[in-house]
Amino acid sequence: HINKKVTVVFVLGGPGSGKGTQCANIVKHFGYTHLSAGDLLRAEQNSGSENGAMIKNVIKEGRIVPSEVTVKLLQRAMEQSANDKFLIDGFPRNQENRAAQENRAAFESVIGIEPEFVLFFDCSEEEMQKRILNRNQGREDDNMETIRKRFRTYIESSLPVIEYYNSKGKVRKIDATKPVEEVFEAVKDVFAPLND
């Protein structure tokens, strides 16, 4: 596991709910390092890794990459950073991810860190779909067929993880349907007390 004392915030919410956008704002204002599990997986896919074809296929199908792969990428990124405060964006996404994250013995190296809290961007499916279709950054999962699959995976697999953390009093829910600046005002209210 990670050998330094670190603060971790999980940033969760549906596809296109604004996780990446708000993480960029949090980095600027509060000095966290942003680790997007999806970005790390896309980079791994493009690096010629032996897992590349598998990752590409899983993302195209809107399913979830096996925890071992994602956990190792997150772990490596945290170890390579000099920072001790991390936003982990888009992970854990299912119960298997969560168990792997919590269980120090499950893999050779796991994160094993209890999050400070879980920032949850709550957004309507209609709005998320509109945002993704407008994004135009060439992501292979930003097409209607994959978007439908991503929404289904989110409801079936990811919402139960958010429910789990909610039952532990860890969730800070944000209305993410509003404009970017208004969402960030609400986000600031969650982070400000930590910096006092």
Provide the binding-site residues for Mg ion, judged by CB under 5 A.
19-20
Pair of tokens at residue 32: 């966290």
For residues 16 and 129, the answer to whether their CB atoms sit within 8 Å is yes
Number of residues that bind ligand UP5 (CB under 6 A): 31
CA dihedral 14, 51, 36, 177 (to 10 degrees): -20
Which amino acid, 174?
A: I
CA atoms of 105 and 103, how far apart (whole Å): 5
d(CA 36, CA 11): 9
Binding segment (CB under 6 A) for ligand UP5, from list 79-87, 105-113, 127-135, 163-171: 127-135
Per partner kind, with CB cut-offs from 5 to 8 A, the member of Mg ion, ligand UP5, none near residue 113 is none
Least distance to Mg ion from the beta carbon of 109, Å? 25
Q: Which residue has the tokens 């135009």?
A: 136
Position 99 contacts ligand UP5 (CB under 6 A): no
Per CB under 6 A, which of residues 24..53 are in contact with ligand UP5?
36-38, 41
Q: Which helix (H) or strand (E) holds 85?
A: strand 85-89
- Site membership for ligand UP5, residue 111 (CB under 6 A): no
Rank residues 50 and 196 by Cβ distance to ligand UP5 and give the closer one: 50
Strands 171-175, 117-122: pairing kind? parallel
115 lines the binding site for ligand UP5 (CB under 6 A): no
What count of Cα atoms within 13 Å lies in the side-chain half-sphere of residue 89? 24
User: Residue 161 has which token pair?
Assistant: 């993880």
Of 46-54, 59-67, 78-86, 165-173, which part binds ligand UP5 (CB under 6 A)?
A: 59-67
Nearer to ligand UP5, 55 or 191 (CB): 55
Residues near ligand UP5 (CB under 6 A) are 13, 15-21, 36-38, 41, 58-59, 62-65, 70, 90-91, 93, 97, 131-132, 135, 141, 150, 179-180, 183
